[in-house]
Structure 1
Amino acid sequence: MKSGFVAIIGAPNVGKSTFLNQALGFKLAITSDKPQTTRHRLLGVHNLPEAQIVFLDTPGIHVAKSALNRRMVAAAEETLNEVDAVLFMAEITAKGMERAQAVAPRLAKVNAPVIMALNKIDLLPKKEALLPLLSRAAQWGDWKALVPISAQNGDGVEELLGELTEVLPEGPPLFDPEVITDLPLRFLAAELIREKVFRLTGQEVPYSTAVTVDQYLEPEEADRPVAITATIHVEREGHKGIIIGKGGAMIKKIGTQARLDLEKLVGGPVFLDLLVRVEPKWSRQEQGLKKMGY
């Protein structure tokens, strides 16, 4: 039996969270087409007959300017010192390869073995286009393996899991087989709501948004709903207006889509009440970051 912790590292929006969800067969990490969707380190447990891989999905490594972004990058880099292996993920687009090349030197001092995955191969018009990309990526570091994948449709994921298993140390499982994550339901509920804000609103609104769960009540009777009250925090009055929408249309849409995912998460009906509150400059102040759980 093999077991160990694996950090998923890479630039923003390269598919780290999509890969984690694909490997787990469960939606643990929220996703969107906007970078820096992941803000916390997320733990997900993948069980194989011969191994237990404990993934740590991390925020994207980028040039951090705000206090929130610096906190996110620090969380990702600190993880590198705590794991048995590293999964370095890049995407095959021109911009994605450039960002991956910039991140690669940060992994040179990592003591753990590093496996690199080139993601989004489903975007390539021809398979032949993959060969020069693999050759280029191979020059950036001493990778134990270099695996092309599509986290979206699962191509290459099984092979990647096999390569990760090879480099893990021998040992008993670190978690019980039925455990998928150590994250509480309150945290997952807040993340699912924040995901809908990222997906449904544009411009800079998502990046100044945080979600806190004010109340999470389990029902006393089996057929009754879980009652969740949550607050969407924004930094400007104008952002509050966008989140609420004309006649409350946007907040209703956010709530409806979030509730559907929450019902899948808890396995039953959910009553969701959403509030919107302005917290000026929360993402740029230590007190604000702590209040939002960062």
Structure 2
Amino acid sequence: MTAPPQPTLPGEAPPGFRAGFACFVGRPNVGKSTLMNALVGTKVAITSSKPQTTRRAIRGIVHRPDAQLVIVDTPGLHRPRTLLGERLDSLVLSTLTEVDVIGFCVPADEPIGKGDRFIAEKLAAVKKTPVLAIVTKTDLASREQVAAQLLAVSQLAEFAEIVPVSAQRGEQLDVLTGLLVDRLPEGPPLYAGGELTDEPEQVLVAELIREAVLEGVRDELPHSIAVVVEEMAPREGRDDLLDVYAHMFVERPSQKAIVIGHRGERLKEVGTRARKQIEALLGTRIYLDLRIKVAKDWQRDPKQLRRLGFYD
């Protein structure tokens, strides 16, 4: 994925240029992915109202004349109930030690809970990395609610800054970017000026398919769904059509029936929704072949987790 060309290349930078990594952490469904997409200026991470949508550390790249900010969107940190949950938490905690600044996201429209306190305790153990508290979703709260939440967040721990933002309305995003950039080390850019993410296209396509599935299934299903793009290649003899072959994995036959829907209607809707998103991402027409397979209890099976891309 590319942005308008920038004058700066990896290894080249004007005096005072800053480049480095920030990560967003928080409990599930606090708006981390939406916020990253808003800062980057395009969709590089899928979003959904379902909790624990994010399963990978997705990188989005913000380019400024004076800086390059690489944002790492992490899965929601929670007390895990499955091997998959344990691996996602391990991914988040390892990311905290590898970035230059951490953004702790708390929504403005929900009271501080056990999950927020759990994460604040984890962040307190990260001694050398500055932590900014980000009060998200201010568009969903009144001024009084936002003020009360800012006070509540300030009592959780000692933060370098506390900043309220609305990704939906674009409010305070420049302020947040500036605060993050201020804490990056001086140095040359890490990516070429046109890059907005370093995620492989097949991974992005698989994520868009999973997002399309999440929009139309029951609340108990999201954690049981995984998508793998098996093959993606131009149609032979055609330069205007890309064939995408993907498998969706669920844990039980009953879940497969739910995803397919009555006479295949739900699966057809998923395919249509996903195809539009993938075509917008890749800038070309696609043919999407989407099959469903049952991988029994894959969230708890180390071998199946590795096969689906969730490594130790």
**2:225 and 2:250 in contact (8 A); partners too:** yes
Of the three residues 34, 42, 47, the one matched with 1:18 is 34
- Structure 1 position 38 matched with structure 2 position 63: no
SS at match of 1:128: helix
Match for residue 104 of structure 2?
Answer: 88
* RMSD over aligned Cα atoms: 1.4
Task: Supply the AA of the counterpart residue of 1:177.
Answer: G
**Is residue 129 of structure 2 the alignment partner of residue 112 of structure 1?**
yes
Residue equivalent to 2:233: 217
CA distance in 2, matches of 1:18, 1:289: 26
Q: CA deviation at 1:205?
A: 1.6
- CA deviations over 1:124-159 (Å, ceiling 9, x no partner): 13x133222212211222211110011222111111
2:279 aligns with 263
- 2:189 equivalent to 1:173: yes
Aligned match of 2:6: none
Paired with 2:217 and 2:98, the residues of 1 have a C-alpha distance of 36
Unaligned residue ranges in structure 1 (runs of 5+): none
Q: CA 1:25/1:249 → structure 2, altered by over 3 Å: closer, same or farther?
A: same
Assess if the C-alpha contact under 8 Å between 1:208 and 1:235 holds in 2.
Answer: yes
Q: Provide the C-alpha distance between the structure 1 equivalents of 2:119 and 2:48, rounded to a whole number of angstroms.
A: 21
In structure 2, give the amino acid aligned to 1:31: T
Aligned-pair CA distance for 1:243: 1.1
What amino acid is the match of 1:213?
V
Q: 1:253 aligns with which of 264, 269, 283?
A: 269
User: Residues 72-117 of structure 1, C-alpha deviation per residue, up to 9 Å, x if partnerless?
Assistant: 1110111011011111111123345553233111111211111110
Residues of 2 paired with 1:183 and 1:94: CA distance?
32
Of the candidates 147, 159, 162, which is equivalent to residue 175 of structure 2? 159
Task: Name the CA shift for 1:221/1:177 in 2 (closer, same or farther; >3 Å).
Answer: farther
The equivalent residue for 1:190 is 206
Q: Which runs of 5+ in 2 are unaligned?
A: 1-16
Given that 2:109 and 2:138 are in contact with CA atoms closer than 8 Å, whether structure 1 keeps it comes out as no
Q: Quote the residue 2:162 is aligned against.
A: 146
Structure-2 separation of matches of 1:220 and 1:165: 46
Contact 2:109 2:145 in 1 (8 A): no
**Could you say which residue in structure 2 is the equivalent of 1:75?**
91
Residue 281 (structure 1) aligned to one of 282, 297, 308 = 297
Q: TM-score, normalised by structure 2?
A: 0.91
Aligned-partner Cα distance in 2 for 1:46–1:219: 34
Note the alpha carbon deviations across 1:192-220, whole angstroms, 9 max, x for none: 00011111111322211100111100356
**Which of residues 215, 218, 237 is equivalent to 1:202?**
218
- Aligned partner of 1:121 among 138, 141, 154: 138
CA–CA separation in structure 1 for the residues paired with 2:20 and 2:34: 21
Q: Secondary structure at the match of 1:153?
A: coil
Q: 1:50, 1:221 → 2: CA distance?
A: 45
1:237 Cα shift? 0.6
Asked if 2 retains the 8 angstrom alpha-carbon contact of 1:6 and 1:56, the reply is yes
CA distance in 1, matches of 2:109, 2:273: 30
- Matching residue of 2:151: 135
Q: Which residue of 2 aligns with 1:243?
A: 259
Q: Does the CA-based 8 Å contact 1:89-1:116 persist in structure 2?
A: yes
Aligned to 2:232, what secondary structure does the other structure show? Answer: strand
CA contact (8 A) 2:111 2:149 kept: no
Structure 1 residue matching 2:276: 3-state secondary structure: helix
Is 1:233 paired with 2:249? yes
Q: Which has the higher contact order (CA 8 A, sep 6+)?
A: 2
Q: Normalization by structure 1: what TM-score?
A: 0.96
Amino acid at match of 2:68: Q
